[in-house]
Structure 1
Amino acid sequence: MTTVSLIGAPTDVGASVRGAGMGPDALRVAGLAEALRAHGFQVIDRGNLSGPPNPWQLPVHGIRHLPEVTAWNRAVFDAVATALAMGHVPLLMGGDHCLAIGSISAVARQCRQEQKNLRVVWLDAHTDVNTEAISPSGNIHGMPVACLLGYGPPDLVGWSGERAALDAGSIDFVGIRSVDADEKQAIRQLGLQVFDMRHIDEHGMRYTMTEVLQDVDENTHIHVSFDLDCLDPIEAPGVGTGVRGGPTYREMQLCMEMIADTGRIGSIDVVEINPALDVRNRTAELAVEFIRSLFGASTLAR
C-alpha cells in the first residue's frame, strides 16, 4: 500500500499577502487525509513544521525575508527527504510557493541517488522565474524556479548536491498567464517549456498534457507543484495573487487525471491557499478534489 506523508508548512514568509500560512489546516478541514484513505492509501499526517514568523519587512538587496525563507525551506527539505527515504509520497501542504525550493531540492537529490529522471509539472498562473535582480517586489514566492535552476541567492541554491536542482528540460509550466517583463526574457534565455493559457486555448488541455508527458517512462519521478492560483479566481477565490482567465474545473481535472494515468507521481506541493480570502473553504475543497484525481480517482475504472 502506498503511504502518503502529509507535511504542513504554515508560513506566508515568501508571499506578498498574508494568509497562506493557514493553508495546511484548511486542507485538513477540507478532508484531505480522509479523501486519500477512502481511495486506498495509507496516510500519515506529520503535523506542521515550525519556523520563524513573518517579519513583514521591506526588501534588502532586492529580496524579502531571506533568512526566514531559508529556515522554512530547510525544514521542508529535511521533512521531504525523510519521507522519500522511507519510500513514502511526500505531500507538502503550504504555505506559499517559495517552499518549493526545499521540497523539489530534496526530490532532486533523491532522484539523483536512485538514478531516476525527474519531471516537474508546475501548475501556476506565474512562472516564478524572477531573481533578486529583476523582481518587482522582492517576494521569494516569485523566485523558486530561478533558485532551483541555480540562479538564486547563494543561501537558496545547491541543496540537491548540484548548483541547479533542475535543468530547463526537467520542468514544464501549465496554465501560465502572468509573467513580468524581465521574466519573459529570462524564460527565453533559459529555454523553458511554458504552456501558457493561449496554448491551452488553441490546443486544449488534452493535447497540452500529451506534450508535457510524452517522454515520461518507467524511470521517471513526476513532481507536481500545484499553486491554486493556477485556477481561475472564479473557481478558487482563496489565493493571494489571483489572475483571471485560468483553466476551468474540467480542464484541471483532465490535467490531473492524465498525470495520474502515467502512474509515476512521486511527490506533490499544494500551495498558496489563502483562507483569509476564501469563501467557506471552497479553494481548499477544490484542492482536495484535484489531489484525489492526481492519485487516480476517476468516474470510471480505467
Structure 2
Amino acid sequence: MTQLVSLIGAPTDIGAGAKGSRMGPEALRVADFAATLESHGLQVEDRGNLAGPANPWQPPDGGYRHLQQVVEWNRLVHEAVLAELRLGRLPILMGGDHCLGLGSISAVARHCREAGKKLRVLWLDAHADFNTNELTPSGNIHGMPVACLCGYGPKELIEIGGQVPAVNPKWIRQIGIRSVDPGEKRFVHQVGLEVFDMRYIDEMGMRHTMELALATMDDNTHLHVSFDVDFLDADIAPGVGTTVPGGPTYREAQLCMEMIADTGRLASLDVMEINPALDVRNRTAILAVDMIESLFGKSTLMRR
C-alpha cells in the first residue's frame, strides 16, 4: 500500500535564541523535499505553512521567553499533526525551532492512546532539551520540550496533549547528545531518561547504539523520530542556530537513519532547527533531505 505523507510547515523561531529557523520549511522545499520523497514511492501532500504569532523578540519573563506565543504555536502544531494521524497519514513537521516538538509529540502520544498503540520516540539532537525555567541559562523554550512532554514545565504547555505527562520518559531514547547544562544534567539523571551521548557512540559505535534504541518494539509500536539537524556534526551541517562540535559523521548519521528505516515502523517525523541565515548555499537542508531519504529506505544495494 502506498504510504501517504503530509508535510506541515511551522515557520517560527519563537523558542530559539537565534533568528532564522522560521525559514527552515522553505529551505526544505527549495531542496526538493516533496519530489525526493515521491521518488521513493510515497504519496506526498504539502499542507503549506501554519500561521501563528510573530516573534516579539523579548527577554525572558519568569524564566521563559515568549511563553504565550510558544503555547499558541504548539497548539497549532498539535492540532495539525493529530489531524493527519487521524486520517491515517504520516505527518512530517518542518520546523521551525525544536520547541515545536512538544506540540508534535503530544499529538502523536494522544493518537497512540486513541489507537491503543505503544510509542517510541527517538530524539536525535546535540542537546537533551530537558531544561525547566529554574534550570535554564537562557529562557529559550527550545531547550525545554522533552521536560515539558514528561510533565515538567508551565501548565499551559504540559497540558497541550490532553494528559499530563504526555509521555513517559521510558518511551524516549536520546541519541547524539553532547551539550547538557549543569542543572539539566542532574535532572536527566534523576528522571532516568535514556541518553546515548556522543561518548557512548564513540565507545560502542552507532550500530550498537541503534540496536539498543530500537529494541523491544513490536508491530503495535508507533515510532516517532524528532530530528534536530544540529544532531549532525557542525562541519557537515553548519546551518543551525546552536552548533556543537563532535556530532555524528555523515556515515554514522546515515547508518542511524538506515537502521530506523529497517524497522518499517516510522510513523511520524519532525525535522527541526534548519537555519538558512547561518547556512552555506542551502547545504544543511539538502543534507537533511538526504538523511530523510535514508529514513524512508534509500540504500546503496537492495536489502531484505
TM range (shorter): over 0.9
Match of 2:70, SS state, is: helix
Unaligned runs of 5+ in 2: none
Letter aligned with residue 93 of structure 1: M
Q: Give the aligned partner of residue 197 of structure 2.
A: 196
Q: Give the aligned partner of residue 90 of structure 1.
A: 91
Q: Report deviation, 1:115.
A: 1.0
- The CA distance in 2 between the partners of 1:19 and 1:182, in whole Å, is 28
Q: Give the aligned partner of residue 14 of structure 1.
A: 15
Contact 2:227 2:271 in 1 (8 A): yes
Q: Give the aligned partner of residue 75 of structure 1.
A: 76
- The CA distance in 2 between the partners of 1:300 and 1:4, in whole Å, is 24
Letter aligned with residue 105 of structure 1: S
1:244 and 2:245 are equivalent in the alignment: yes
Letter aligned with residue 116 of structure 2: Q
Letter aligned with residue 100 of structure 2: L
- The CA distance in 2 between the partners of 1:102 and 1:68, in whole Å, is 13
Q: Give the aligned partner of residue 29 of structure 2.
A: 28
- The CA distance in 2 between the partners of 1:7 and 1:100, in whole Å, is 13
- The CA distance in 2 between the partners of 1:155 and 1:257, in whole Å, is 37
- The CA distance in 2 between the partners of 1:155 and 1:282, in whole Å, is 37
- The CA distance in 2 between the partners of 1:167 and 1:245, in whole Å, is 29
Q: Give the aligned partner of residue 226 of structure 1.
A: 227
Q: Give the aligned partner of residue 210 of structure 2.
A: 209
1:122 and 2:110 are equivalent in the alignment: no
Q: Report deviation, 1:160.
A: 2.4
- The CA distance in 2 between the partners of 1:245 and 1:187, in whole Å, is 21
Q: Report deviation, 1:216.
A: 1.2
**1:1-302 aligned within 5 A:** 1-302=2-303
Q: Report deviation, 1:296.
A: 1.1
- The CA distance in 2 between the partners of 1:161 and 1:155, in whole Å, is 11
User: Residue by residue, what CA displacement relative to the aligned partner does 1:37-62 show, whole Å, maximum 9, x if unpaired?
Assistant: 01000000000000111000000000
User: Residue by residue, what CA displacement relative to the aligned partner does 1:62-118 show, whole Å, maximum 9, x if unpaired?
Assistant: 000001101111110110011001000000000000000100010000001111110
Unaligned runs of 5+ in 1: none
Contact 2:75 2:160 in 1 (8 A): no
Contact 2:21 2:276 in 1 (8 A): yes
User: Residue by residue, what CA displacement relative to the aligned partner does 1:149-197 show, whole Å, maximum 9, x if unpaired?
Assistant: 0001001012223201111110000000000000011001100100000
Letter aligned with residue 29 of structure 2: R
Give every structure 1 segment of 4 or more consecutive aligned residues whose post-TM-superposition deviation is greater than 4 Å.
Answer: none
Percent of paired sites with the same residue: 64
Letter aligned with residue 24 of structure 2: G
Letter aligned with residue 48 of structure 2: G
Letter aligned with residue 103 of structure 2: G
Match of 2:17, SS state, is: coil
Match of 2:223, SS state, is: strand
Letter aligned with residue 234 of structure 2: P
Match of 1:239, SS state, is: coil
Q: Report deviation, 1:299.
A: 1.0
- The CA distance in 2 between the partners of 1:162 and 1:215, in whole Å, is 25
Q: Report deviation, 1:214.
A: 1.1
- The CA distance in 2 between the partners of 1:262 and 1:217, in whole Å, is 9
Letter aligned with residue 97 of structure 1: H
Letter aligned with residue 248 of structure 2: P
Letter aligned with residue 203 of structure 2: E
Match of 1:169, SS state, is: helix
Match of 1:184, SS state, is: helix
Letter aligned with residue 70 of structure 1: V
- The CA distance in 1 between the partners of 2:194 and 2:287, in whole Å, is 27
User: Residue by residue, what CA displacement relative to the aligned partner does 1:267-287 show, whole Å, maximum 9, x if unpaired?
Assistant: 000000000000000000000
Q: Report deviation, 1:21.
A: 0.2
- The CA distance in 2 between the partners of 1:160 and 1:48, in whole Å, is 21
Match of 2:292, SS state, is: helix
Contact 2:78 2:161 in 1 (8 A): no
Letter aligned with residue 242 of structure 2: T
Match of 1:286, SS state, is: helix
